[in-house]
Amino acid sequence: MGMKQVIKNLDAFPRAEDHLLQKTQSGALVSIIGLTIMATLFLHELGYYLTTYTVHQMSVDLKRGETLPIHINMTFPSLPCDVLSVDAIDMSGKHEVDLDTNIWKLRLNSYGQIIGTEYVSDLVEKEHEHAAHKHDDGKDHHEHSEEKIHLQTFDEATENTIKKVKEALKNGEGCRVYGVLDVQRVAGNFHISVHGLNIYVAQMIFDGAKNVNVSHVIHDLSFGPKYPGIHNPLDDTKRTLHDASGTFKYYIKIVPTEYRYISKEVLPTNQFSVTEYFSPITSQFDRTWPAVYFLYDLSPITVTIKEERRSFLHFITRLCAVLGGTFAVT
């Protein structure tokens, strides 16, 4: 037996003789179905190869001296903008009242439509200008009467504020508060309430804390830019008070996060979890004024999310297995 014959005997796929091969219509149908299946599987595998997947890694958070951006977008359908203030305090002792950094207020009518907008710092400036104007008008008066004029001006301004707010409440005005707070990267809280008002003024406007309706809609609350697949649990949250008023408290645990795109671009941000608590006013003599509190704390662990793509060798291996198997079956 020659060497060529030995090699031929090793052929695991002997070719059938031509006279044994017969083409039929049923065979053609099976071939068409097989080709269709192989084309479908090829497109599926190609799409699977081109899509990215994410890998999660955890490590100790080493960030220092950075600020924490808080993006808020909320609507208070039952409180006018004139009575709302945004305050923040953190564990370092920093206390900011009626924040005027990158915060806007939109006046809303009873149907939720915008009827006016003012940057919060503009409101503060207008108050100072109003006070300065009144002071200038009294310059030509005698020294002994200046205090009296100032007191009358203050009372008049207070009465005008009360009338304005009561009229807004009667018309069903609401307020949309949105913007960005830059706070220290330590535990703390921020809240939206009527605490910016003098307590006597608030009493005259609402006739007691029980009448302060802090029903609200949280359109968006986040602690940094959004990345693909993120879920902020408080987005589109609606809380409506029908009977007793009270204080809402949202306890938030912030997890520092880095999202690394396939292009190597890094997006520093934060994700969070939340639990909620409502404390109703139980007595008409309760001295606690209703508010919406967001109490946050930061995790010492940072999460890194990396986009990755499957290797070309992995793609070829799966493709050969799928197409070869389909061809063998058909």
For 152-198, what is each residue's pLDDT tens digit? 444 777 788 788 888 888 888 999 999 998 888 899 999 998 887 87
Of 18-27, 30-39, 132-141, 270-279, the range with the lowest mean pLDDT is 132-141
How wide is the angle at C-alpha 129 spanned by C-alphas 84 and 173, nearest 5°? 30
Task: Using the CB atoms, write b or e for 123-134: b if 16+ within 10 Å.
Answer: eeeeeeeeeeeb
pLDDT at 48 over 70: yes
- Mean pLDDT (whole number) for 312-330: 86
pTM score: 0.73
Q: Nearest-CA neighbor of 150 among 160, 161, 139?
A: 139
Percent with pLDDT over 90 in the chain: 35
> What is the residue whose two structure tokens read 């409502």?
278
- Whether the CB-CB separation of 154 and 53 falls below 8 Å is answered with no
- Alpha-carbon span 272 to 255, nearest angstrom: 6
Phi/psi-derived region of residue 327, left when phi > 0, alpha when psi is between -120 and 50, beta in every other case? alpha
Q: What is the layout of strands, in order, in the sheet containing 103-108?
A: 114-119, 103-108, 174-184, 67-76, 216-222, 237-239
For 122-147, what is each residue's pLDDT tens digit? 433 443 444 444 444 444 444 444 44
Supply φ then ψ for residue 14, to 5 degrees.
Answer: -65, 145
The ranges assigned to domains in the chain are 28-61+310-330, 67-246
Q: Mapped to the 3 state alphabet, what secondary structure does 254-278 carry? A: EEEEEEECCCCCEEEEEEEEEEEEE
Specify the 3-state DSSP secondary structure of 84.
coil
CA distances from 137 to 103, 130, 134, 152, 187 (A): 32, 11, 5, 13, 47
- Whether the CB-CB separation of 265 and 228 falls below 8 Å is answered with no
DSSP 289: P
